[in-house]
Amino acid sequence: MTESDADAAQPLRGVRVLDLTQLLSGPYATQILADLGAEVIKIEQPGGDKARGNGPFFEGKSSYFASLNRGKKSLALNLKNDSGLRVFQDLVRQSQVVVENFRPGVAERLGIGFEQTRQWNPSVIYASCSGFGQTGPKAGLPALDIIIQALAGTMSLTGEPGAPPLRAGFSVADIGAGMYLAMAILAALCRPPADAPAIHIDISMLDTQVALLENAFARFFATGEVPQATGTRHPVLAPFQSFEAADGRFVVAISTEEHWLKFIRAIGHPELGDEAMFKTPAARLRHVDQLEGILLPIFRTRSRECWITRLEAAEVPVARINTVADTADDPDLRVREMFSEVQFGTARMKVVASPFHFNGRSLRALPVVAEFNGNQAEVLQEILHLNPQEITRLDQEGAFA
């Protein structure tokens, strides 16, 4: 790798982030920053990040924690202790970003809120992520992923028509908030000169989940009709859903007239193009039940791989419905280096790697997941230039968790 390739692969090299977050949304954001080359120091309070205790465990280590905290350093500070708070203040002065996902009001009570922090670093980027944001009637309430999916309308759009609402199969509210949090931090880092005033980023899980609901709200505002669950069907395109072949299920996604014509030829029924009720996208959507009734018995006559081979050859969007195990063995993902190993204590475990690629190269997963307080000496000596005697004194004063 050339020097320019190395620089491109770590665009945030030289940026220091103090990470006060735990569990999912905040750590997901700061892991993105670590993947991009930032030095992320995870400030853990007594007991550490609760995610360290979340299973499943591999050789005694939390795979959940490892999947969100690779490449970060860990420093345990007791922020309720005056000496611990002073250490944090000194680190803030040497950092560009502070990230927290406490419930609103908690950081202020600890003496590490935005107004306090900007006094120590007038250019700090202070990023907060919470369930409902720093303002509004629900601001002080706790919120987990399913709460946000329920309130945003996500669950009402998930599942089969007429069936009870379903939670999406992964923590889309947490992950969505983490991605928006990372994007906001990256935007703030692009501010011109170093003397730019401090900025407070306020990310709400509910806000970001609503923002991710694609055109559901656009359709509601335009028509007044409340969007409903459609199973695997698309609300405005057809056929765009899953079908059952002789030996398994697969999906087809027809989004253009070109796709439609290629599709009906590939399945051996070009005459469908002459049917008035299938002539246009709008007509196919209106008659989707009739169209599905025609297609289902056709697809049951052959194997899934047969249909996928035919449709792929015709350049029609099609895919088998994978399990996680299937996807973990996907040859494209192997080429893209989307799975890697990390070292967590004595355990080596596989995790999902970063999806970023720069100059044709992937960002491999950083190899180490920090033990609780595993980087105390490194952080205090190399950043704050404390000697072992000073660290011992701080320890005796109760500064460390």
What is the reported pLDDT for 278? 97
Whether the per-residue pLDDT at 6 is higher than 60: the answer is no
What local confidence, expressed as pLDDT, does residue 193 receive?
A: 73
Tens digits of per-residue pLDDT, 315-339? 999 999 999 999 999 999 999 999 9
Provide the pLDDT for residue 67.
95
Bond into 270 cis (ω within 30): no
What pLDDT score was predicted for residue 362?
84
Question: How many other C-beta atoms are found inside a 10 Å radius of the C-beta of residue 180?
Answer: 22
On the CB side of 289, CA atoms within 13 Å amount to 2
Mean pLDDT score, 188-193: 88
pLDDT higher than 80, residue 1 = no
pLDDT number for residue 194: 65
269 a catalytic residue: no
**Using CA atoms, how far apart are residues 262 and 276, in angstroms rounded to an integer?**
18
Q: What pLDDT score does 369 carry?
A: 96
The reported pLDDT for the residue numbered 361 is: 85
Antiparallel, parallel or unpaired: β 16-19 and 97-100: parallel
When pLDDT is averaged across residues 288-299 and rounded to a whole number, the result is 97
pLDDT (tens digit, 9 = 90+) per residue, 253-283? 999 999 999 999 999 999 999 999 999 999 9
In this prediction, residue 118 carries a pLDDT of 97
- Return the percentage of the chain with pLDDT > 70, whole number: 98
Indicate the angle between helix axes 172-189 and 25-35, nearest 10 degrees: 50
Angle in degrees, CA 386, 387, 392, rounded to 5: 95
Does the pLDDT of residue 54 top 60, yes or no? Answer: yes
The three-state secondary structure class of 58 is strand
What would the pLDDT profile of 32-51 be if each residue is shown by its tens digit? 999 999 999 999 999 999 99
Give residue for tokens 């002080």.
Answer: 140
Per DSSP, what are the bridge partners of residue 339? 352
From the list 139, 136, 160, 182, the residue with the least C-alpha distance to 25 is 182
Average pLDDT, the chain: 95
Taking 80 as the threshold, does the pLDDT of residue 71 lie above it? yes
Q: Choose the catalytic residue: 234, 269, 287, 385.
A: 234
Q: Is the pLDDT of residue 31 over 90?
A: yes
The predicted-structure confidence for 235-247, as pLDDT tens digits, reads as follows 999 999 999 999 9
Work out the pLDDT band at 363, boundaries 50, 70, 90.
confident
Instruction: Quickly state the pLDDT bin for 4 (edges 50, 70, 90).
Output: low
The answer to whether residue 5 scores a pLDDT higher than 60 is no
pLDDT over 90 (residue 366): no
Written out in words, the top-level CATH class of the domain with range 240-320 is: alpha beta
pTM of the model: 0.93
- Mean predicted confidence (pLDDT) in 15-23: 97
Q: Is the pLDDT score of 2 beyond 90?
A: no
pLDDT > 70? residue 212? yes
DSSP code, position 44: E
Domain boundaries, the chain: 3-213+334-396, 240-320
Superfamily of domain 3-213+334-396: Crotonobetainyl-coa:carnitine coa-transferase; domain 1 (3.40.50.10540)
